Amino acid sequence: MKIYWKGFEELREANDKATGNEFPHELPIVLNKQSKGSSRRDFLKTFGFTIAGATIAASCERPITKAIPFLIKPEEIIPGKSNYYASTFFDGELHQSILVKVRDGRPIKIEGNDLAPMSNGGTNGIVQGSVLELYDNNRYRGPLSHGEEVSWEDLDKKISEQMAGADGKIVLLSGGIISPTTNNSIKEFLSAYDNSEHIVYDPVSHNSIREANHQVFGLNSIPEYRFDKAEVILSFGADFLGTWISPTEFSFQYIQNRKPTEDNPAMSRHIQIESGMSMTGSNADQRITIKPSREKAILANLLAFLINESELDSFTGKLPESPIDIKVLAEELLNHKNKSLVICGSNDTESQMMVNGINYLLGSYGNTINFDRSLHSCQGVDSSIENLVKEMNEGKVSGIIFYNSNPAYDYSDRDAFLKGFQNLDFSISLSYTTDETSKLCQFVCPDHHFLESWNDAEPKDGLFSLCQPAIRNIFNTRQAQESLLTWTGKDVAFDDYLKKFWEENIYPLSGSDMDFRAFWNKYLHDGILEIPASSKLKPSIGSGQLLEILGSLALEKEGETELILYTPVSVGTGKHANNPWLQENPDPVSKVVWDNYAAVSPKYADENGLNTGDVIKINGKYEIPVLLQPGQMYGTISVALGYGREEGGKASIGTGRNFYPLVRTEKGQRKYFSTVEFEKTGKTYDLASTQMHHSMEGRALIRETNLDEYKKDPAAGNEIHEEIELRLDSLYEKHEFAGHHWGLSVDLSSCTGCNACVVACNAENNVPVVGKEQVKLGREMHWIRIDRYYSGDPESPEVLRQPVMCQHCDNAPCENVCPVAATTRSSEGVNQMIYNRCVGTRYCNNNCPYKVRRFNWFDFNKADSIPKNTVDPFDLTLDLPRMVLNPDVTVRAKGVMEKCTFCLQRVQEKKLNAKLEDRVLEDGEIKTACQQVCPTQALTFGDLNDENSDLSKHVRNPRNYHLLEEIHTLPSVSYLTKIRNKSGEA
Amino acid sequence: MYVSPVRETLITGNKTYKDVTNDISNPVEGKPGKFWYLGITISVIALFFGLFATIITIWYGIGTWGLNKTIGWGFSITTFVWWIGIGHAGTFISAILLLFRQRWRTSINRAAEAMTIFAVLCASVFPLIHMGRILLFFFMFPYPNTRHLWVNFNSPLLWDVFAITTYFIVSLLFWYMGLLPDLGSLRDRAKTRMRKISYRLLSFGWTGSMKHWQRHEILSLMLAGLAAPLVLSVHSIVSFDFATSVIPGWHTTIFPPYFVAGAIFSGFAMVQTLMIITRKALHLENYITLGHISSMNKIIILTGSIVGVAYLTELFMAWYSGVEYEHYAFINRATGPYWFAYWIMMTCNVVSPQLFWFKKIRRNPMITFVISIFINIGMWFERFVIIVTSLHRDYLPSSWSIYKPTIIEIGLFIGTLGLFFTGYFLFIKFFPVIAIAEVKSIIIVDRSKKQVKNADSEK
Amino acid sequence: MKNNIKEDKKLVSGYYEHPDDLIDAVRVIREKELPIEDIFTPFPIHGLDEIAGLRKSRIPTLGFIFGLIGSISAFGFMTWVFTVDYPLIIGGKPYFSVPAFIPITFEVTILFAALAMVFGFLIRSKLGMGAKNRIYDKKITDDHFLVLLKGDSSTLLESAKQVLSATGAMDVKIIED
Amino acid sequence: MDQTFEFKQKYKVVLAVLLGIGILSLVYSIFSVESGRIWANVLLNNIYFLAFALIGFVFISVHIVGQAGWHTSIQRIPEAMGSFLPVAAVLMAILLFGMHDIYHWTHEHHDPILEGKAAYLNAPFFIIRMVIYFGGWIFFGWKLRSLSVKSDLDPDLKYFKKSIYYAGAFLVFFAITSSTASWDWIMSIDAHWYSTIFGWYIFISIFVSGIAVIILLVIFLQSQGYMSHVNKEHLHDLGKYLFGFSVFWMYLWFSQYMLIWYANIPEETVYFIQRIEEYNFLFYGNFLINFFAPFLILIHRKAPRLKRVMVIGAIIVFIGHWIDLYLAIMPGVLGDKASIGITEIGLTIGYVGLFLWVVFRSLAKAKLVPVNHPFFKESLEYHNL
């Protein structure tokens, strides 16, 4: 047999020790078992996977014995070159249009789709991490019946019998669904069974917004928010940059108006009123802390003030006392009438109604908020699951099909659910991976991972996004929709079903003049179809309605200690808890990884004798370690949801604690705060954090200024830059880089600290996950980190952030000291690390003033020649998760230093492309992984030698400076000063 | 040669040449005492502990140590510098004191040189073991290879490789060349076959011919002439490991001379520690007299004060420089999380040797012994302060971190102590602890051979 | 001290027990121009080489030459590697970075000089592991100062014995090999 | 042996001429060159000749504390050198009038770095420190000298024993003040710049030149028929000092230069950049003349035993370290406008005249050797290995 090899080393190794299996037995690859006729894509997938396997084997220093060559090479596949397929990510909460990077048959990276109007090419950490979930060890390998492996046919038979014989309700309990085709298939399914119902359940509910809009405007929808059009943004506890509704979209919009230039020094003003320090709050120009129970009071006062200011009405009733002076706030908002935006994160219809009123009075509708393209996510109605559980306990439900929902974990009254579960005749889980609910279910009919699936999405009215498989299903799984259709009695492949649905429903809508085939191919290629917004909805409020809202307010009682439950930015609501990349992605504010914790304000902690690491017991039951969180409201405790999974794999089980049980339901609405009691337990617990020191110690690391100052002097805050530049004399000539001189610029004003870049870098560069214990020791391996500092009063600090990666210094202190010359300068000004040459003295890292070098303390990647010494707490070195490795990037062995390479492989790829096409490399063509992912486009990569490059323009910007420039390291990475808009601060 | 009567007698007990041979050879020829067996047993156990730690380190990786992304060197390099420093006393005694014609060195130079060899051996363990990929240590040498790669001659760590290799070789040669006549002595006194054969081989056929002596003497002088700048260079190069950097607390120009002074300081402390035990255990009080102890203590005051002045200079300059990073580095040394290390260093290295200004203390073996131990500890902490305290809080506060050693690192440290003392115990068992021939050359035996007038002394 | 003494070579030996006795005796022997085969002492006696008429050792010259070779080759090699063979940009330093080459140059200089001198000494003195030099008196390494005079002819033999006895030497005897 | 030096008329004439040259060139300078240059030269020579006085006492103290014997035969020469101390103090006091021209930190400024240093770099404290330095030095010098002279009359060992304490205390005092004084007087000229090794570097620099002056004086006295007891062995020792400390000076020079070169931090490199760019010839010349010249001249074993070689070596070192100080002072005071002309050479000649006058006068006051020193006899029988 012919041997395929990719380099001399491999060939030699293959010959040297032609032992071992290329495909170990554990990898269950079943080819062509499903008979649906083999399409061209199937063929690609099959062969692609073969090559993928070979590549994985190769990248893991395994000997190659067999590889099957292409008999006929598919035209679009060139071994060693990546293909990108447009697709869509939607996990029930978060939607994003994406491109899947498929290399030799396996998806290895997700990029944002530049055509997508919502994300504009950005993605967030969860989406970045989702590719790893494709290769989750914890996935179901095939259908199960009572825990036993069965064939699909047998299982379908059993299920059909069960359903046919159901005397009670059959409920499909799903997560959010925004796919019209899926909805159609569900509709068909429901119509096949009389007593069936579809319930949408969101673990973290935003239902009150729909409810409020419904009550106020008669529109049961979530409008489109336009942060880019707002000059003043007032957010009540909504973490819209991190987790609220559509954070990536909002981040992009938000930052559009926050990149002041000398020509246009305009910038929005962002005021955040919240209890815990959220990522969004940490970016605010002004941040006001309150107890969550006081939010309504402020809203009411604000609304009343605005009513009274307007000609509409006047409110004379009694108002609850506001904890803050709302007058200044209101005046600021009024000064920017039609250009302000008020949002609220609370799941409380009254609050949302008041917000609607405020926005209405401020003229936001039609300007910063509109209903033309309302959002389709967050459809879950809180009361429906309440009813379901009630009915389950009453025995009215025969069976539930769990589709992308996991109430056994994230439903607050878990005991009631479990009790009701006993009464079910049958239970079916469509989950593709083990979770708490699927473990309980009789039948498990595992869904494809979304990267293996056909699907579509309509995140907003008239905005469609297609989802296509980037790999043949790895395991014996079946797409959930197909399962439903099968049980409906339809034997149809979902891709055909999808195509048909589009041909019949969406193609006509689009008004396209292409024939459907061309139409389909185009939008499958693009991934995005946008149909012009249909109507111009202008909501209106009757005059008495506002007073009515105010008049019937039900105020919460202020508690001594109030608990706030929030969704963490890095891990989300818990669905992705088994993703080690996400678990090790630090919280944007606290920098804690692998845990949730009780955030307490320093002063409150002091008064209660608490310190970081002390374990407290909340409501006598829930133990959790304390973290002193500057900026936390006094008298409140914030705890993240999404942790403490009991099933779901190594990375999630036992990581943090489940606080869903503390979600409270009031008037059929789930509330994410409550008054609690807590006591010290005397126990302590070590939280793992990637940053231990939180003050900049007065050093000019992050240079910031206020907009007013900036308008006067664009170099404001950065005055010392020029002074230092003048002093940068050297004892020797600077090396000139004749061709390219790569550099990177980071706009500190734009960085929101979401850490998506960290996950993207992990995925792109095969950065190992080290686990909680190693992070505690300060050994995380991230090549890029976002430093976060606090300044000012610990009770209400300002937050500063700075992404730091290898600075690629021209005078690199690290290079000088490596005894074996394993780190040197490339001819293009990149500080390169030669892994093969590295002997691991760590001298370079000691000498690095930026401490961006990362050492392989253990054999994290199973790339070592010594057996049985791998430190891999999450089995990422098993063959399956290894499929995610980027074959362009070497996997580093134990004892080797590594660091940011400026994504050299990307630079090289684009350079080669340009060379092959015989053209000059264009500016902006090369994007580093961190740059590409960034939802706010805070990073710019380019050529310093090219005077016209965006990067060079940044470097010439008076805001530009280098980190620690006074020590003459001459970094290629530069920063633009952070600008805040504190003008008119109350 | 005239010797002033004011001077103190160097070798007491009116020794004749024969006495000298007997007294010094006896411990080698007799059976070792209980103390020796106890000592070597403990040392070998410690050595094995170190071996265990070594295997664990190589097998699992440097992760078994307490280091992290911020602190790349901890116990290992601290101990490396400590051992190298200790080694310097031997060379200082045999080279610089030879050049300065300090005759009292003859009683201690042999043991001190042996100590140098073992100390350098212990030291060289760490640059090897601290490498992440120790099996590739040969990358450190500029050998021709298929990839045409050379090493980085700009790296202080590479300078270290050269410096330590040279230092080890030259010290070994110096020590062994000095041993030849005494090994000849042992050979000629050997009774058993085993001893006869081994000492014959070891003594290289030494005859005592004047031609040998002539060359031997000039060789010693020349080697001393080379070793004197070498000893300066080695610890200077070790200091370059830190001083060439840009890390506050590391980058300071005073490091080379200050490290050298510190090295000699710590080395003499270790010599004191060893000599005070050795003279007692081997009954060599007539050879290693209170005068010797006092002389060494004087060097300890001198070098200790130099080190003290250097500490103060650094401290002052950190303030004077006006560089905030420097400011902070020094405030952090004294008041940060590792304040104890700083104050141990200050008390042990600056305060405790000042006691030697008092003649009574200077000439008291017990107190000297205690202070020498303090200095050994203090000098270890000095390196700890320089390495860990500077690294753990450098430029970017976001990366500030804390270092705690693990049992594996401590095991390596203990292992090298084991190696050192095993070596030393074997040395005192099989080699003459005092340079027999050299001592003979400084005592003056009356020609009547009956009554011995001895004298001679320092100049 | 010769290893392979010729068959018919005769030597006269006698020892003293004090260096001053020896020095006096050697002075007398030199005055009488008797050929000295060798003198053996337990420790180096300052000035004996001059009195016995030994030439100065050239070990320092050897050391100097090899030191020079060491420094030139080390500096030259580093220069060649960094400017000709494989120039690398390291930390923005010039390819030919003299200050950085100094430490290694110095160390190699010392190493070469030391090795050359030690091996020079061992080779010239015929010392080394397994060297079989004749030991004339086992007490030389203790407290005997032995003088070995040539006694190639009988007259020489006689006068040698005489002088030795006259200067107070003990155990005067003829040694044949 | 019991000789006493006689300050003959002919010496006085020569020295007066030298002094005259100095005064004339000073007068010339006042009319033709800027005041900064004159003051800088005064500072340079003040420090340089003060250094000889100090090194005289350091030399004695080190040997006393180290219980050496050989130095006693030349001990009176460094003692006499020390007698220049009070004169140097007066000269330094005069310099205070030129502070403004030399030290930029005395100017009105709004420099945050200098403001940070103001607690140390301010005129009153500067003067107080200067008074302390001179007070201490003169006190210890006077004690050491008088104990030594007293022992000539009274052979009691108590003077010897006392001198050990004074020598020790002086060394401690000197160890600190030599560093601080060099920071005050030299390093603060480049007020932003700092280097921790600087004090020790200056100390070794002046120590080598002090040894050179001792050698020159010994050989001069021998040529005049004095000090016949000083033999080749003593000269050899002095020669070894000259050789050894020249190498040591190179070591410190290299350490400082290489470390700053290596780290390449602007606030440090600025010092060398200015010197390399504006004083290129002297900068490299300094290294050659102070290291390579003595190294090559004195490396041979026999060289230190030849008086002529020693004189050449000592004179080169004397000039070399004057240049070393010149390089430390001039760029900071005068920038690129410094040169070596009548002012520099003439003033130095004048200082030589003044210095020798004081030294000779002092030398003539006591015996040329400390006859009652307990180690004096050892010194006479002294042999190098």
For the stretch C102-140, pLDDT in tens is 999 999 999 999 999 999 999 998 898 888 888 888 888
**Residues D161-220: pLDDT tens digits?**
888 889 999 999 999 999 999 999 999 999 889 999 999 999 999 999 999 999 999 999
Report the percentage of chain A scoring pLDDT > 70.
Answer: 92
Q: Is the pLDDT of residue A962 over 90?
A: yes
CA distance A854 to chain C (A): 19
**Residues D307-342: pLDDT tens digits?**
888 899 999 999 999 999 999 999 988 888 888 888
Asked whether A114 and A120 are in contact (CB, 8 A), the reply is yes
Asked whether B99 and B92 are in contact (CB, 8 A), the reply is no
CATH class of A704-727+739-980: alpha beta
Which residue of chain B comes nearest to C58, CA vs CA? B215
Interface residue D247 vs chain B (CB under 8 A): yes
Per-residue pLDDT, B1: 57
Domain ranges in chain C with CATH number 3.30.70.260: 10-42+140-176
Give the pairing type, strands A106-112 and A95-103.
antiparallel
Sequence-separated (6 or more) residues with CB below 8 Å from residue B457 = B3, B4, B7, B8, B9, B10, B103, B104
Query: Which residues is A786 bridged to in the sheet?
Result: A803
Q: Is the pLDDT of residue B451 over 50?
A: no
Q: Is the CB of D176 less than 8 angstroms away from the CB of B309? A: yes
Nearest to B322 among D113, D260, D385 (CB): D113
Whether domain C10-42+140-176 has CATH 1.10.760.10: no
Nearest to B221 among D120, D260, D385 (CB): D385
Per-residue pLDDT, D108: 81
What is the secondary structure of A770-796 as a DSSP string? --HHHHHTT----SSEEEEEEES-TTS
Residue B152 forms part of a structural domain: no
A34 or B216, higher pLDDT: B216
Query: Domain A568-689 is of which CATH architecture?
Result: Beta Barrel (2.40)
Q: Is the pLDDT of residue A69 over 70?
A: no
The pLDDT mean for chain B works out to 89
The residue-averaged pLDDT of A604-616 equals 92
CATH topology of domain A207-375: Dimethylsulfoxide Reductase; domain 2 (3.40.228)
The residue-averaged pLDDT of A948-968 equals 92
**Residues D287-308: pLDDT tens digits?**
888 998 888 888 877 777 788 8
Per-residue pLDDT, A28: 38
Calpha distance C6→C176 (Å, rounded): 9
Task: Find chain A residues with C-beta within 8 A of B401's C-beta.
Answer: 692, 778
Q: Which domain holds residue B391?
A: 17-144+160-442
The residue-averaged pLDDT of A437-461 equals 91
Per-residue pLDDT, A649: 87
Asked whether A774 and A871 are in contact (CB, 8 A), the reply is yes
Give the pairing type, strands C170-176 and C10-16.
antiparallel
Q: Is the CB of B158 less than 8 angstroms away from the CB of C104? A: yes
Nearest to D69 among B255, B313, B459 (CB): B459
**Residues D252-299: pLDDT tens digits?**
999 999 999 999 999 899 999 999 988 888 999 998 889 988 888 888
Task: Find chain B residues with C-beta within 8 A of C52's C-beta.
Answer: 210
- Would you place residue B452 in the very low, low, confident or very high pLDDT band (cuts 50, 70, 90)? very low
Touching C: D residues 274-313, CB under 8 Å: 301
Interface residue D254 vs chain C (CB under 8 A): yes
Q: Is the pLDDT of residue A986 over 90?
A: no
Whether domain A144-204+380-530 has CATH 3.40.50.740: yes
Start-to-end CA span in chain B (Å):
11
Residue D3 forms part of a structural domain: no
Q: Which chains border D (3 or more CB–CB pairs < 8 Å)?
A: A, B, C
Residue B7 forms part of a structural domain: no
Question: Which stretches of A805-878 are assigned E, i.e. beta strand?
Answer: 823-825, 831-833, 854-855
**Residue whose tokens read 């200690």:** A561
SS3 C177: coil
**Residues A295-336: pLDDT tens digits?**
999 999 898 888 888 877 787 778 888 888 888 889 899 999
Per-residue pLDDT, A41: 56
Per-residue pLDDT, A782: 94
Nearest to A893 by CA among A819, A933, A833: A833
Taking the alpha carbons of B250, B254, B257, B258 in that order, is the dihedral positive or negative? negative
DSSP 8-state class, residue A505? I
- Would you place residue D8 in the very low, low, confident or very high pLDDT band (cuts 50, 70, 90)? confident
Task: Find chain A residues with C-beta within 8 A of C93's C-beta.
Answer: 732, 816
Number of domains in chain B: 1
Q: What is the CA angle A257-A263-A264, rounded to 5?
A: 25
List the single best residue of A722, A729, A732, A847 to mutate versus D (max D Cβ within 10 A).
Answer: A729
Asked whether B155 and A843 are in contact (CB, 8 A), the reply is yes
Of A236-250, A534-548, A649-663, A691-705, the least confident? A534-548
Task: Find chain D residues with C-beta within 8 A of B6's C-beta.
Answer: 157, 160, 374-375
Q: In chain A, where are the structural domains located?
A: 8-134, 144-204+380-530, 207-375, 568-689, 704-727+739-980
Q: Is the CB of C127 less than 8 angstroms away from the CB of B212? A: yes
Interface residue C130 vs chain D (CB under 8 A): no
Q: Is the pLDDT of residue D53 over 70?
A: yes
Task: Find chain B residues with C-beta within 8 A of D172's C-beta.
Answer: 305
Helices D35-65 and D158-185: crossing angle in degrees, nearest 10, is 150
- Would you place residue A445 in the very low, low, confident or very high pLDDT band (cuts 50, 70, 90)? very high
User: ipTM exceeding 0.85?
Assistant: yes
Calpha distance B159→B163 (Å, rounded): 6
Q: Which chains border C (3 or more CB–CB pairs < 8 Å)?
A: A, B, D
Per-residue pLDDT, A777: 92
How far CA A484 is from CA of A145, A430, D300, in Å, comes to 17, 10, 100
CA distance C99 to chain D (A): 6
Interface residue C85 vs chain A (CB under 8 A): no
- Would you place residue A25 in the very low, low, confident or very high pLDDT band (cuts 50, 70, 90)? very low
Which residue of chain C comes nearest to A847, CA vs CA? C91
Task: Find chain A residues with C-beta within 8 A of B246's C-beta.
Answer: 813, 847, 849, 967, 969
Query: Which residues is A565 bridged to in the sheet?
Result: A639
Q: Which domain holds residue D253?
A: 9-380
Residue B311 forms part of a structural domain: yes
Residue B150 forms part of a structural domain: no
C161 φ, ψ to 5°?
-60, -45
Number of domains in chain D: 1
- Would you place residue D347 in the very low, low, confident or very high pLDDT band (cuts 50, 70, 90)? very high
Q: Is the CB of C102 less than 8 angstroms away from the CB of D262? A: no
The pLDDT mean for chain D works out to 88
Interface residue D120 vs chain B (CB under 8 A): yes
The residue-averaged pLDDT of A236-245 equals 91
Asked whether A319 and A300 are in contact (CB, 8 A), the reply is yes
Q: Is the CB of C20 less than 8 angstroms away from the CB of B447? A: yes
